[in-house]
Structure 1
Amino acid sequence: MTEAPIKQDASAPRSTFGALSAPDLEWLEKAVPEAILFSDLPIVDPHHHLWDRPGYTYLLPEFAADLATGHNVVATVYADCSSMYRASGPEAMKPVGETEFVLGQRAQSASGQYGPTRVAAGMFGHADLRLGRAVREVLDAHVNVAEGFFKGVRLQANWDASSAIRSGRTASPGLLKDAAVREGMGVLAEMNLVFDCYAFFTQLDDVADAAEHFPNLTIVLNHCGGPLGYGPYVANKEENYARWRRGMERIARYPNVVCKLNGVLNRSAAFDYLHAERPIDSSALADLWRQWIEPCIEAFGAERCMFESNYPVEKVGVSYAALWNAFKRLTQHASDDERTALFSGTASRVYGLDLSPDSRV
């Protein structure tokens, strides 16, 4: 397999690294074609977005085109991304519009016109946990709209003091320890909803504290625990990596936490797609990501890890086909049970997906 030329120069100014950018489709077409590995392996993609933003449309037709590139993706879980919030009404209720939007995308998928994958078999949206116990009204609205496929919410707690780092839209220092947010997390636990949490590696102790405080709350740690390798984190990489590993090993002690594997394409500066002549192939990508993926699986175990596409965010640097091939390369020596857990079993269990033939709508 031919590797893409990689020009690693993360010390240079990276104003677009870590940003949500539209992919260069002409550049993506320069990728060397790859055969699909383990083509029959069932996959549940537990983290993808759909949106219609100025200059960047990625809705079901675009996603279906990526899904059709060869992997056996049987179902997906939609991840919140502020799509189609309500334009009016109480501010706290506006995110319910995203669930209404996903309901429509899900219905389109159920028609079969866009392929066999059950897109949005589950979803997690947004509810402002800073509302404390009052967030119950918002969560009830999501659940009532979704009629069974609303599985939880995500808190983008990823905050950094550096202006070079793109922080989450609701992020602030110490958010995971905020008393009102803790009340909101308690409501999630009472409702048996999943808590997807995105935090940077510098905040992993706060995630661990939350896991200890709410042992009955399922916490899904997003994107390998948020390693960073751009901006101020270009320096002291060895120290930062050691800190990340310590944080992940601490969190892994709590059985109510599971880990999503991906989301490190640009945040960790693992591949400089901005200067590469063509996209990286799956073999080279697997080698670059091994340092992030393998420690997570070692710490949490396959039964508490799940691969995610994080599409279309990752599309800026790698095709959907090569992305899943890279994951498969990373598990070539895994047992059948481990591979099943990583690619579909953990996601199906955690999000309570019903993949029976009569559950498409």
Structure 2
Amino acid sequence: MSIVDPHLHYWSLASGNQPWLENPVPNLLGDYSPMAQDHLPEDLERARGEIDIQACVHVEADAVDPVAETRWLAEVIASGARLAPDALVVGVDLSHKDAEEQLDAQRELSDRVCGVRQILNVHDDPLFDYVGRDYVSEPGWRSNLRMLASRGLSFDLQIYPSQMAQAAALARECDDILFVLNHAGMYVDRQHLDGWRAWRDGLRELAACDNVMIKLSGFGMLDHRWTRDAVVPLVWEAIDAFGIERAMFASNFPVDGLYAGYEDIWRTYLEIVTGVSDSERDALFRDNARRCYRL
């Protein structure tokens, strides 16, 4: 089975750049202490099993110093490791006055920088709240986001369904930027019908923007005992909203490695879309990721 993985993370704890891993505190991921160790290309090589990874995209891993993270990744790439990242979605705090300098410093470190992610998840429940701040409503943040267009960079959009209408308005306003919705829109409020409706309707509103794609990933983050049957309606709803041409599967490894093996994740994805044509399967597992991240 050949794939392009458009969402994974590497880190070295010796860098001191991910304190959230050095001192694990249970959160929406549950007890993530098993993940609190180095994760390098050679670790993915061991974990991949029979999955042929043709290319992969590294997404920032909540580093204290994103420039240092990119410098380290450039060294990993220079080492010639087989599963070194083919593209980098780097971290930039777009609320900072020096956001442009942060970004350009990282682009100077590596010509594989293809996009930016800044986690935006806010939620009334502290267990699910990431940032406690509505960045998208801040004029300075929005102004800095616009600089991605002139650099030909995409923006990885990690939000909850309650933020989707606001994000869709942002996508319409910045129609020269490609937005990539992370983790199937993070369907978080699962106890009531209103939660499902917010996720479903939010997907449709975002999908109405031609400059938004979706990554089908991260299912274990909010359902630690996820099964194929539990994920089927989420994947089908997302693909129905965005179409085959704007959806792609991803591993979110090693985070989702807390809940399933790398090979198991990808083989489950394949089972979920049994019956699609060869070209549709290629789009979901390889071609859309290549196009999105210019691989």
Partner of 2:87: 122
Alpha-carbon RMSD: 1.6
Which amino acid in the other structure matches residue 235 of structure 1?
Answer: Q
> Within the alignment, does 1:150 sit opposite 2:113 as a pair?
yes
Partner of 2:250: 308
Selected match of 1:138 from 102, 127, 131: 102
Partner of 1:344: 286
Q: Is the 8 A contact 1:82 1:98 kept in 2?
A: no
Q: Is the 8 A contact 1:177 1:210 kept in 2?
A: no
Which amino acid in the other structure matches residue 242 of structure 1?
Answer: R
- Within 5 Å, which residues of 2 pair with 1:247-286? 247-267=202-222, 269=223, 271-272=224-225, 285-286=227-228
- Shift in Å, 1:173: 3.8
Selected match of 1:183 from 120, 138, 143: 143
Q: Is the 8 A contact 1:80 1:125 kept in 2?
A: yes
User: What CA distance in whole angstroms lies between the structure 2 residues aligned with 1:249 and 1:128?
Assistant: 28
- Shift in Å, 1:197: 1.1
- Within 5 Å, which residues of 2 pair with 1:154-303? 154-165=117-128, 167-168=129-130, 171-228=131-188, 233-236=189-192, 238-267=193-222, 269=223, 271-272=224-225, 285-303=227-245
Partner of 2:38: 57
| Percentage of identical aligned residues | 27
Selected match of 2:70 from 92, 99, 118: 99
User: What CA distance in whole angstroms lies between the structure 2 residues aligned with 1:111 and 1:73?
Assistant: 13
Aligned length: 274
Which amino acid in the other structure matches residue 142 of structure 1?
Answer: Q
- Shift in Å, 1:299: 0.8
Q: Is the 8 A contact 2:41 2:81 kept in 1?
A: no
Between 1:171-180 and 1:212-221, the stretch displaced more is 171-180
User: What CA distance in whole angstroms lies between the structure 2 residues aligned with 1:341 and 1:57?
Assistant: 32
- Shift in Å, 1:97: 0.8
> Within the alignment, does 1:328 sit opposite 2:291 as a pair?
no
Q: TM-score, normalised by structure 2?
A: 0.88
Q: Is the 8 A contact 2:94 2:144 kept in 1?
A: yes
Q: Is the 8 A contact 1:159 1:199 kept in 2?
A: yes
User: What CA distance in whole angstroms lies between the structure 2 residues aligned with 1:349 and 1:221?
Assistant: 15
Selected match of 1:74 from 38, 47, 54: 54
Look up the SS of the partner of 2:290 in the other structure.
helix
Q: Is the 8 A contact 2:60 2:66 kept in 1?
A: no
Structure with more contact order per residue of length (Cα contacts < 8 Å, sep ≥ 6): 1
Which amino acid in the other structure matches residue 67 of structure 2?
Answer: V
Flag as ranges the 4+ runs of structure 1 deviating above 4 A: none
User: What CA distance in whole angstroms lies between the structure 2 residues aligned with 1:111 and 1:222?
Assistant: 26
Instruction: Give 1 or 2 for the bigger CA radius of gyration.
Output: 1
Query: Which blocks of at least 5 consecutive residues in structure 1 are unaligned?
Result: 1-38, 86-93, 113-117, 273-279, 354-361
Partner of 2:28: none
Specify which structure has the higher proportion of helix.
2
Look up the SS of the partner of 1:265 in the other structure.
helix
Q: Is the 8 A contact 1:127 1:135 kept in 2?
A: yes
- Shift in Å, 1:61: 2.1
Partner of 1:32: none
Which amino acid in the other structure matches residue 59 of structure 1?
Answer: L
Cα deviations by residue, 1:301-339 (Å, 9 ceiling, x for unpaired): 111111010000001110001100011011211111111
Which amino acid in the other structure matches residue 280 of structure 2?
Answer: E
Look up the SS of the partner of 1:130 in the other structure.
coil
Look up the SS of the partner of 1:44 in the other structure.
strand
User: What CA distance in whole angstroms lies between the structure 1 residues aligned with 2:262 and 2:145?
Assistant: 33
